[in-house]
């Protein structure tokens, strides 16, 4: 079926640098079709040096809003009019909403992760103990999301100072919820392991994050933010150890659905999550928001 762009068609999209690999246009255009909206979702390669001009363009051209991905997420907050608590907390924005020229920034990564985790069969988080691998942008969103649900989070990252800085930031907001373990070192008994590093991401699919010895023995739930490949070496090892596992496809779809709910002003329950999952599920050639 040919997509007809009319004089009424409104534009929404994703910015990144590079952005050509992004799965978001496929996923969001499937969602827009399912919702019957006369909107189109496009990818824009925005180098960091042109970010301020791009932001002015949202107002000037009356775009509905945009998703923002690597390496722009952390650069966007100071350029917007208002920020959600979550975006302020993690210092990053993945969704800009144009409210009649007033630009609001939000981050849907943490809520998308929680939604995906629940759907994957890990609904109870209060009082649980999680090992979070990584301390980059997505790990920040996951750490605050888990701590906000009453989970204690042990953060382990190759660069330990970054793990400590993230734990300190989480503890300022949620006292005593975060601590640090050395990379590959003992983290105690955990209920949940989350990989928020890029280790295992295609084309380096043989790579695997360093796990504390015996951490899979107690069969924690293992969530890998990576979805290309669909089963990383970490997930394979966890599955073989008898753990329940999930890849990052659910998070990709839910953070997108949450963005769409913000742009449309409709409830999350009306977002076509199945169509979005289906659009990105088959063979995912590359990964990225
Ligand atoms: P960042 O670049 O912000 O962080 C990368 C993390 O990976 C850091 O903790 C870094 O450690 C670690 N890392 C990278 N290379 C190595 C290595 N060789 N050895 C040990 N650690 C390493 O990336 P993001 O947080 O944005 O993304 C992380 C992953 O999450 C990616 O695979 C991304 O595709 C995925 N993702 C999935 C989403 C989804 O919706 N499913 C959403 C967002 C991200 P160090 O600090 O030491 O450099």
Give the pLDDT confidence score for residue 226 in this predicted structure.
94
Site to substitute for ligand 1 among 28, 72, 138, 253, most atoms within 8 A of C-beta: 138
Give the pLDDT confidence score for residue 122 in this predicted structure.
82
**C-alpha closest to that of 121 among 211, 230, 227, 222:** 222
Residue 164, ligand 1, Cβ within 6 A: no
> SS3 for 152?
strand
User: Residue 284's CB: how many other CB atoms inside 10 A?
Assistant: 17
Non-local (6+) Cβ contacts of 197 within 8 A are 133, 134, 136, 139, 157, 158, 209
Q: Which residue's alpha carbon is nearest to atom 32 within ligand 1?
A: 198
Cα(225) to centroid(ligand 1), Å:
9
Q: What pLDDT digit, counting tens, does each position of 197-217 carry?
A: 999 998 999 999 999 999 999
User: Residue 82's CB: how many other CB atoms inside 10 A?
Assistant: 13
Give the pLDDT confidence score for residue 1 in this predicted structure.
63
Integer Cα distance of 66 and 282 in angstroms: 25
User: Residue 231's CB: how many other CB atoms inside 10 A?
Assistant: 16
Which atom of ligand 1 is least distant from the CA of 73? 26
Residue 65, ligand 1, Cβ within 6 A: no
**What angle do helix axes 273-280 and 249-264 make, rounded to 10 degrees?**
130
Residue 197, ligand 1, Cβ within 6 A: yes
By the 8 A CB rule, do 144 and 166 touch?
A: no
Query: Is residue 285 scored above 90 in pLDDT?
Result: no
Q: What pLDDT digit, counting tens, does each position of 246-274 carry?
A: 999 999 999 999 999 999 999 999 999 99
Residue 199, ligand 1, Cβ within 6 A: yes
By the 8 A CB rule, do 28 and 256 touch?
A: yes
Give the pLDDT confidence score for residue 261 in this predicted structure.
98
Q: Where does 46-133 show beta strands of DSSP type E?
A: 65-68, 82-83, 95-99, 102-106, 129-133
**C-alpha closest to that of 223 among 161, 134, 160:** 134
Site to substitute for ligand 1 among 16, 93, 134, most atoms within 8 A of C-beta: 134
By the 8 A CB rule, do 45 and 77 touch?
A: no
- 28-42, 116-130, 160-174, range with the lowest pLDDT: 116-130
Where residue 26 falls among pLDDT bands split at 50, 70, 90? very high
User: Residue 91's CB: how many other CB atoms inside 10 A?
Assistant: 15
Cα(134) to centroid(ligand 1), Å:
6
Residue 246, ligand 1, Cβ within 6 A: no
Which atom of ligand 1 is least distant from the CA of 201? 32
User: Residue 286's CB: how many other CB atoms inside 10 A?
Assistant: 12
**Residues belonging to the active site:** 73
């Amino acid at each position: 079926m040919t997509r007809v762009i009319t004089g009424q068609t409104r534009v929404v999209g994703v910015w990144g640098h590079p952005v050509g690999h992004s799965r978001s246009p496929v996923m969001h255009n499937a969602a827009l079709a399912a919702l019957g909206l006369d909107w189109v979702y496009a990818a824009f390669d925005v180098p960091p040096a042109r970010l301020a001009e791009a932001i002015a363009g949202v107002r000037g051209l009356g775009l509905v809003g945009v998703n923002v991905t690597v390496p722009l997420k952390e650069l966007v907050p100071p350029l917007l009019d208002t920020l959600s608590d979550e975006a302020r907390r993690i210092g990053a924005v993945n969704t800009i909403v144009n409210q009649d020229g007033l630009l609001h920034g939000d981050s849907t990564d943490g809520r998308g992760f929680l939604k995906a985790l629940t759907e994957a069969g890990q609904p109870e988080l209060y009082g649980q103990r999680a090992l979070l691998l990584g301390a980059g942008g997505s790990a920040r969103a996951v750490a605050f999301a888990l701590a906000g649900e009453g989970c204690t989070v042990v953060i382990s990252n190759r660069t330990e100072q970054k793990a400590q800085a993230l734990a300190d930031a989480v503890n300022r907001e949620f006292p005593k919820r975060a601590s640090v373990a050395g990379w590959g070192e003992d983290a105690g008994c955990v209920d949940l392991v989350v990989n928020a590093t890029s280790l295992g991401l295609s084309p380096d699919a043989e790579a695997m994050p360093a796990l504390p010895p015996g951490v899979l023995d107690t069969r924690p739930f293992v969530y890998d933010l990576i979805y290309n490949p669909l089963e990383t070496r970490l997930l394979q090892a966890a599955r073989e150890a008898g753990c329940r596992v999930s890849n990052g496809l659910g998070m990709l779809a839910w953070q997108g659905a949450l963005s769409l709910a913000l742009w449309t002003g409709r409830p999350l329950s009306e977002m076509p999550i199945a169509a979005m999952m289906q659009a990105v599920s088959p063979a995912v050639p590359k990964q990225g928001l």
